[in-house]
Structure 1
């Protein structure tokens, strides 16, 4: 009955979803563990835009219903978003480790949080963070100045830059107290979340296993530094100790109609999610933009010429985003090839027909920007780096969800303007100062909470001579 009702809502009865071939005992579990992104690409190439992948031993087997078309992504994220929830085990593991912030909350919790936080992410408010981004970029460049012509891992460098920038915007003057702890604790917690999120069965978190104890110690240290800053901020007299009007101060003061403000635990949850999503996503975009330009000198020269012509020697401001269209196209193309969120998961509430196939109630639904961004229906020669794909006329000719690095619909990333602001300002300053030549022609990656490099992304840097 549920299938029939859902199918009618989705546009008639659908065909059975084809299954990707896997082993008789474990299905595609080993393939997903070894290379999940490659497995999703292979599934689309063999079976089309809706494919079922099974993984795990009998009795513990998971079924993933993968949707690869732009039209299907729009259905899941936007037009029928109420039917697709963040109820899968992976989101639950993130929730238990990084808190119930905007990324993981649902229903009234999410709506209340969004009402409280939305005024802090208006374009005007976010534009005010441009100076902090420029200051942290200048600090990174000053560190490179001491190296001269050298080889740097742009993945490591951009992660450090993005983390310092988001910590400065969140905490004002309390940057150093946070960055070292995040650098040390985030990898431990992230690896723990991934291992549990993709495992068919887990022991309780409270059991004293080595993995549980390592993760608990990292969470305790991370929570403590955030709680300490929040407590000190709340105890300080108005206008003192905040290092300016940073985001934490604004979050602590947030009110919206009848909504009560955040308590200390809720504040910590928001801070942790902003630290996680706010630095890893931007770092990925910046690192791959630089590495791709390091492999494509003509595009790099064109981007540098635009930056020099528009900015001269002055520090970029928020208003310069609209004046740097080619640099923005470079970033969008880097985000197409290397989306920071390469896989997005949901759970279907009711059965729905997507692209002619019935996805049953309760199904784990996988969207994969990594695959849709390479779909030959929307992208010619999809593995080629071509910023011209994002010229206005080319963008207008594509379906809306052929490119969705920030998700979409009512739960689209609230920080997407901040990410673009930070990325354009940082990339402009870095390209104006340095030339890049890729040392590693390919950078291996895997899907974690965000896209992760599993090898170096090295470039030789040379100071641009006047």
Structure 2
């Protein structure tokens, strides 16, 4: 039986220096194999303690039941500050709650139907671009990144990726990805607040360029809102939604912060998952053929088509399980805790790892296998509730989770309707901003007979 690829695990015992070196290179390969069976694991450094939590009730305590007691750790987010500013991704407390009160209405269920035509157009554009690569081996992550960025700009600003500002943001973001290290010094050493954070010069320059471009888009939209000509898209909805408690809307600077994370989270995560899904379809051609047959329903732009793409949705969920785009989340303990008969001190870092939780040997049947049918078994249904968190969970669940579960299956099905994919070299998963392949994912496309 062919298993989807996963990175090698490190030895159980390495020095802090070795671990930091591995962590900087790839956070997944830096973890020992025993974490796929552990309910809780402690990692000690001279500066702080961190705990990996895989036991479902402990994960629920941190993410669902007491999120205010476990705010997002600022230590890991330090490296993203130049790009994200004070976006909803990095803030905590009342600031974060205010941001979510303004953002969440834009992603309510009814808005999915309204944004569907933009997603449809992006999927059609993605298929048209792939027509130029028939018979060639291509790096599919580049194509899925293009498609995901197109979705973001069409739904957020009603602009296709070909628009000069959208294109410039997309191109600059590729530069940012190449320059952004996974590990900032503050992730390992608790630097005092007054000490300046050190970032690579090309990282800060690229982040500044992206923010300048987003500022242009935001200011243009603000002017359109003022004169009544703004399209009814996500940007307009967010910029005109007042906080129900204060009555205030986002300032231009605040909106730039939010757009930066929408692009980072919405583009990076969707591109990663879609690329892995296409690779899995190449690895399992029987499933590919089933999805291609189902995808014949995609003929006209009608939101009801999503109800017919059930297999595609199961495949996309299974891809999110095996290759969760955000492999680890870090929360900070704000008060002493008892977990599995041990005391967890205030200030400890609580690591929730979808990568390990989704492959946990004591929770899932066939944890390393590809089985989209699992979601209809008792084990799959239980794990879906207790051990499946690709978009986080609780109060801080990604507001775009429903959005992603429309976009991903739609584009996947649209591509497989017209094209057959076959796999090239076996990709090795690594984690930087998201879970990507070390040397890319290479696939060959051929035209599928109608």
Q: TM-score, normalised by structure 1?
A: 0.86
1:262 counterpart (250, 266, 273): 250
Change (3 A) 1:402 1:201: closer
Report the CA distance between 1:363 and its aligned residue.
0.3
Report the CA distance between 1:280 and its aligned residue.
0.8
Spell out the pairing of 1:19-418 with structure 2 (5 A cutoff). Answer: 21-23=13-15, 26=17, 28-45=19-36, 48-55=38-45, 61-173=47-159, 175=161, 176=163, 177-185=165-173, 187-188=175-176, 191-192=179-180, 194-196=182-184, 198=187, 200=189, 212-236=200-224, 238=226, 242=230, 244-257=231-244, 258-308=246-296, 311=297, 314-315=299-300, 317-391=302-376, 393-398=378-383, 400-418=385-403
**Residues 406-465 of structure 1: CA distance to partner in whole angstroms, max 9, x if unpaired?**
10011111100000010111111111111111112x322222232232212011111111
State the number of aligned residues.
436
Unaligned runs of 5+ in 2: 1-10
Q: TM-score, normalised by structure 2?
A: 0.89
Change (3 A) 1:76 1:218: same
Report the CA distance between 1:296 and its aligned residue.
0.4
Report the CA distance between 1:139 and its aligned residue.
1.3
8 Å CA contact retained: 2:173, 2:206: yes
8 Å CA contact retained: 1:49, 1:67: yes
Give 2:437's aligned residue.
Answer: 453
Larger Rg: 1
Separation (CA, whole Å) in 2 of partners of 1:392 and 1:382: 14
8 Å CA contact retained: 1:434, 1:461: yes
Separation (CA, whole Å) in 2 of partners of 1:45 and 1:235: 52
Unaligned runs of 5+ in 1: 1-18
Change (3 A) 1:303 1:96: same
Q: What secondary structure sits across from 1:38 in the alignment? A: coil
Report the CA distance between 1:121 and its aligned residue.
0.6
8 Å CA contact retained: 1:343, 1:447: no
Report the CA distance between 1:205 and its aligned residue.
11
Report the CA distance between 1:388 and its aligned residue.
0.9
Separation (CA, whole Å) in 1 of partners of 2:429 and 2:247: 42
8 Å CA contact retained: 2:26, 2:432: no
Report the CA distance between 1:20 and its aligned residue.
5.7
8 Å CA contact retained: 1:50, 1:65: yes
Give 1:6's aligned residue.
Answer: none
8 Å CA contact retained: 2:354, 2:389: yes
Change (3 A) 1:306 1:190: same
Report the CA distance between 1:335 and its aligned residue.
0.5
8 Å CA contact retained: 1:285, 1:334: yes
Separation (CA, whole Å) in 2 of partners of 1:224 and 1:137: 28
Change (3 A) 1:285 1:185: closer
Report the CA distance between 1:72 and its aligned residue.
2.2
8 Å CA contact retained: 1:112, 1:259: no
8 Å CA contact retained: 1:65, 1:366: yes
Separation (CA, whole Å) in 2 of partners of 1:203 and 1:256: 33
Q: What secondary structure sits across from 1:77 in the alignment? A: helix
Separation (CA, whole Å) in 1 of partners of 2:152 and 2:225: 24
8 Å CA contact retained: 2:179, 2:202: no
**Residues 177-222 of structure 1: CA distance to partner in whole angstroms, max 9, x if unpaired?**
123333324542674363425454889999898x543223212211
Bigger shift: 406-415 or 356-365? 356-365
Change (3 A) 1:45 1:149: closer
8 Å CA contact retained: 1:132, 1:165: yes
1:437 counterpart (422, 425, 430): 422
Report the CA distance between 1:88 and its aligned residue.
3.2
Separation (CA, whole Å) in 2 of partners of 1:463 and 1:174: 25
8 Å CA contact retained: 1:148, 1:463: yes
